[in-house]
Structure 1
Amino acid sequence: MIEAAAARLRDLLRPNFGWITLVAAIALAAMGIMAQETVETLEPGISNSQKRNLVVALAAMVVMLIPHPRVIGWLAYPMFGLAIALLIFLLIPFVPESIVRPRNGTRGWIDLKVMDFQPSEMAKVTFVIALGWYLRYRESHRSFWGLVPPFLFMLVPVMLIIVQPDLGQSLAFGPALLVVLIAAGAKLRHLFSVVGMGVMVIAINVTLVLMTSGVPGEPDYAPWLKSYQKSRITSMIKLASGDYSEVQDESYQQHKAMTLAGAGGTQGYGGERSETFIEFYKLPEAHNDMIYAVVVNRWGMLGGFAMMGLYLLLIGSMLAVAAATKEPLGRLACVGFAGIFLAQAVINIGMTVGVLPITGITLPLVSYGGSSLLFSFIMVGLVMNFASRRATYMSRPSFEFDGRAGRRSG
C-alpha cells in the first residue's frame, strides 16, 4: 500500500497540463477574493468568508486526486441521482425555509449550517461525469435519434433548476452536453440541426417578447415567460440601443455594472478609490453576479483582459488534458468541464457589459459562493487526476471514430 501511494504521488508530481489548470484556477480565485475585498463596505466580511470557502474547496480538490477513474465512473450514476434528488427536495413546498434557503425568490440552497449548499452546482459536475460514463463505449449517438438519451440526461436537471426558478444555472448544461457529444464523435450535421432548432426557438421567443407591449388588455405573445424574464430581454435591448429610459427600473443593475466597468478605463482605479466608487454606486450583487464589473473598475480593461486570458488558459489546459489522456471517461469529463467554465464565463461577462440579458449566473472561481467555488475546484481536482494517470494498454476501445463510416479507429 505504501508503494502504491508513493507511485501515485510520483504520478501526481509529474509535469502535465493539469498543473496549468490548477495555477489558472488559483489565480482566478485570488482575483475574486481581492475583488470581494473591494466591496467589503457593501457586504462586510465577504472576503474572509470566501477565504474559508477556498480552504474547503482546495481540500475537496485534493480528495479528488485519489480515486481511480473507474471508481469515479462507478459512482457517476449514484452521485447524479443524488443531485437530482436534492433538486427535487428543494421544490417540496412544506420544507421549512430554515432548511431550504430562498434567495431573490429562488429556492436553490440547502442550509447545512457550515455553508449554504446549492445542489445545482453539484448537478452540473455529476451530469458531465454521468454523461461521460454513459457515452464512453457507445456508438448510438452517431445517429440523430441516438442523441435523445443524452438530451434526456440534460433535460431532467435543467427542468428542475428552471422550476426553482434559476434560469442562469440551467444555461451551463447545454454547452457542456454539446462539447461532450462532439468529443464523443457525434455527427456535426446532427448537432448543428439541434443547435439550429434551439437558436430558432430563442429567436422566436425574443421576437414575441418584443411584440408584447406590456399594456394591460393588450395581447401577450409570450405568456409562458415570466414578466421579469421579458423585462430583462427588453431592457437589455433598449440599453444596447442607447435608450436609457429604464435605467432606474429594469435596466438599473445592468446600467450600473456597465458604468462601473467603463469608468475603470485602461488601468482601473486601484483598491481604495475603486472601493469608494463602488460604495457610492451601490451595485446590486457586486460580490456575486456582477463581480466582473468590480474587476474592471479596480484593474481596468487590462485587468478584465487578464482575467479572460486566465479563463482561456484554464479551458485550454483542460482540453489539452483531454487530448493527452487515453481514458475515455477522463477525456469526455475534461471536455465537459471546459464547456461549463466557458459557458458561465461568456454569459456572465456578456451580461455585465450589456450584450446579454441578466440571468443570474456566477463567474466561476471569481464570484462569491461556497458551492460554486467548491465544485469548481472539484472539477479542477478531477482534471488533475485524469492528467496524472499513466496510459493503460490492452484496454477496451472507446468512442473514437475515423470520421468515414462510423467505424472505430482505436
Structure 2
Amino acid sequence: MSPHAATWSSESRSRARGHWIWRVLRPNAGWICVGSALVLSILGFASIDLSVPAMATKHLVFLVIGVVVAGFVAIPNPDFYRRMAWPLAIVTLAMLVFLLIPVVPESIVRPRNGARRWISLVITDFQPSELAKIVFMLVLASTLRFRKTHRSLRGLLPTLAIALVPMGLILMEPDLGTSLLFLPTLLAMLIAAGSRYVDLLKVMLIGLILASAMLPMLRPHQKDRIMALVAQVQGDNRYENDIGYQGARSMTLVGAGGLKGHDADHASMLLRYNHLPERHNDMIFTVICTRWGVFGALATWGAYLSFMLGGFLVALRSTDPFGRLVAVGISVMLMTQMLINSGMSLGIFPITGMTLPFVSYGGSSLVVNWIMVGLLLGISCRPPRMMWRESFHFQSESNSR
C-alpha cells in the first residue's frame, strides 16, 4: 500500500469514527429513553437505600455496569442483532431447560422460595428468563419483517410458538410474572407489523386457549395468591395474616403515604414497623408511594410514559422493519411490566414476583433493562437513508428474490 493510500485510509477511518460519535451524541428519540431510564434508576437507588440500605451500593454497581453495557450494545448495526437472534434463542432455551433439570446441584441452580430461576456465576446469580425477554423480541422481529409472515393466519402461527415456548418454560420455574409479558408484547408487535385484525383476533384467541392450558402448571401458592386478592377486593380479610399478608401490608403503606408522602426518617419508620417482604424488589413501588406519596407515584408513571413515547418515536423514525419492531416490543414490554408491578402494590393484580423496570433491586433485571435501552439508542442512531420509509411489503420482496 502506498503512503498516500495509507494516509487516505487513516483519514477515512477517523472521519467515520467522528461521524459515528456525532450520530450518537446528537439529539434523537433514543436519548429520551436514556434520560427516562436514568431518572428511574436513580429513583430505584434512593428507594432501595431507604428500604434496605445494605443493598443500595450493590444496586449502584449494577447500574454502572448496565449503562456501560448499553453503550457497547448501541454500537453495532441492528442488522447484527437480527443475524444473532436465532443463535441466541437456542442458547437461551438451553439455559431455561437447564434450570428445570432436577439433578443439577443447588450450587449451580440456586432455588429461592421454591423457584429455580437463577444460575450461579460465583460472584452473582444470572436469571435466564430476563435474557429470554430480549431474545424473544429479536427473534419475533426477525420473523415478522417479512410481509408473508404477518399477512396470513398460517404465517402468524409460528410467531405464536415463538412466544409460547419460552413462556411455558418460564412458567415451569415457576415465574408467573415474567411469563405474563410475552403475549401482550406479541400482540403489540403484530399490530406494528401490520397484521390484519381478523388474523390477530384468531391468533390471540388461540394463544389465550393455549395459555389457559398452562394454568394447571401454577403452583398452589400462586393459586392461593389469586384467591387472596379476590378476597381482599371483596373485603374479606381472612388471608391478611397468611398468603395475603404481603398485599395487605402494601395497601396499608400506600395509604399511609397520602398525597405528598413523608420525610425519609418517617417513611423508614413506617417501613420498619409495617414489615413488607421484598420491599426492595417486587414491592418497591410501595416504598415509592410511602416516601413520596401519590405525587411520587404519578411522577414515576410519567417517567415510564416518557420512555414508552421515546421508544415509539424511535420506531416511527426507523426505516428498518426489524428495528421498528424491536423498538415497539421493548416499549410495550417494559410498560406492561410496570403496570403489572405497580398493580401488585395497589391491590389490582395478584403478587406474582415481577420487578419494576430500572427501579427494583436485581442485577440481571437491571442490566437487561439497560441492554434494551442500548438497543433503542442503536436503532435511533441510524438515520433515514431516503425520503420514504421502506414498507414490510418491499422488504419481503427484496429478500425473496
Instruction: Give the TM-score normalised by the residue count of structure 1.
Output: 0.89
Once the two structures are superposed, what CA deviation does each residue of 1:133-173 show, in whole Å capped at 9, x if it has no partner? Answer: 11112323222232211011111111111111111111111
Please give the alpha-carbon distance, in whole angstroms, between the structure 2 residues aligned to 1:178 and 1:235: 29
Please give the alpha-carbon distance, in whole angstroms, between the structure 2 residues aligned to 1:326 and 1:144: 26
1:37 matches 2:49: yes
The residue aligned with 1:215 is: none
Residue identity opposite 2:127 in structure 1: Q
Please give the alpha-carbon distance, in whole angstroms, between the structure 2 residues aligned to 1:395 and 1:2: 30
Identity of aligned residues (%): 41
Match of 2:383 among 387, 390, 406: 390
Q: Deviation of residue 114 (structure 1)? A: 2.7
Please give the alpha-carbon distance, in whole angstroms, between the structure 2 residues aligned to 1:362 and 1:234: 22
Please give the alpha-carbon distance, in whole angstroms, between the structure 2 residues aligned to 1:179 and 1:235: 31
The residue aligned with 1:159 is: 168
1:240 matches 2:233: yes
The residue aligned with 2:189 is: 180
Residue identity opposite 1:10 in structure 2: W
Please give the alpha-carbon distance, in whole angstroms, between the structure 2 residues aligned to 1:39 and 1:225: 30
Match of 2:59 among 29, 50, 53: 50
1:67 matches 2:91: no
Structure 2 runs not aligned, ≥5 long: 1-12
1:361 matches 2:361: no
Alignment of 1:106-185 (within 5 A): 106-185=115-194
Match of 1:335 among 328, 346, 358: 328
CA contact (8 A) 1:53 1:373 kept: yes
Q: Which moved more, 1:178-187 or 1:391-400?
A: 391-400
The residue aligned with 2:10 is: none
The residue aligned with 1:9 is: 21
- The 1:326–1:107 alpha-carbon spacing in structure 2 relative to 1, beyond 3 Å, is same
Q: Deviation of residue 195 (structure 1)? A: 3.5
Q: Deviation of residue 248 (structure 1)? A: 0.3
Please give the alpha-carbon distance, in whole angstroms, between the structure 1 residues aligned to 2:207 and 2:225: 20
CA contact (8 A) 1:137 1:397 kept: no
Residue identity opposite 1:167 in structure 2: L
Please give the alpha-carbon distance, in whole angstroms, between the structure 1 residues aligned to 2:393 and 2:351: 39
The residue aligned with 1:77 is: 86
Please give the alpha-carbon distance, in whole angstroms, between the structure 1 residues aligned to 2:195 and 2:92: 26
CA contact (8 A) 1:268 1:301 kept: yes
Please give the alpha-carbon distance, in whole angstroms, between the structure 2 residues aligned to 1:223 and 1:140: 32
Q: Deviation of residue 34 (structure 1)? A: 0.4
For 2:142, what is the secondary structure of its paired residue? Answer: helix
CA contact (8 A) 2:174 2:218 kept: no
CA contact (8 A) 2:146 2:393 kept: no
Instruction: Please tell me the root mean square deviation across aligned C-alpha atoms, in Å.
Output: 2.2
CA contact (8 A) 1:328 1:398 kept: yes
The residue aligned with 1:304 is: 297
Please give the alpha-carbon distance, in whole angstroms, between the structure 2 residues aligned to 1:278 and 1:304: 17
For 1:269, what is the secondary structure of its paired residue? Answer: coil
Match of 2:31 among 15, 19, 23: 19
Structure 1 runs not aligned, ≥5 long: 206-221
- The 1:293–1:396 alpha-carbon spacing in structure 2 relative to 1, beyond 3 Å, is closer
CA contact (8 A) 1:109 1:119 kept: yes
Structure with more helix by fraction? 2
Q: Which moved more, 1:97-106 or 1:120-129?
A: 97-106
Alignment of 1:219-258 (within 5 A): 225-258=218-251
Once the two structures are superposed, what CA deviation does each residue of 1:207-231 show, in whole Å capped at 9, x if it has no partner? Answer: xxxxxxxxxxxxxxx8664322221
CA contact (8 A) 1:137 1:398 kept: no
CA contact (8 A) 1:86 1:119 kept: yes
Please give the alpha-carbon distance, in whole angstroms, between the structure 2 residues aligned to 1:63 and 1:129: 17
Please give the alpha-carbon distance, in whole angstroms, between the structure 2 residues aligned to 1:104 and 1:343: 25
Q: Deviation of residue 69 (structure 1)? A: 1.4
Please give the alpha-carbon distance, in whole angstroms, between the structure 1 residues aligned to 2:162 and 2:246: 34
Please give the alpha-carbon distance, in whole angstroms, between the structure 2 residues aligned to 1:24 and 1:120: 24
CA contact (8 A) 1:125 1:379 kept: yes
Q: Deviation of residue 394 (structure 1)? A: 11
The residue aligned with 2:343 is: 350
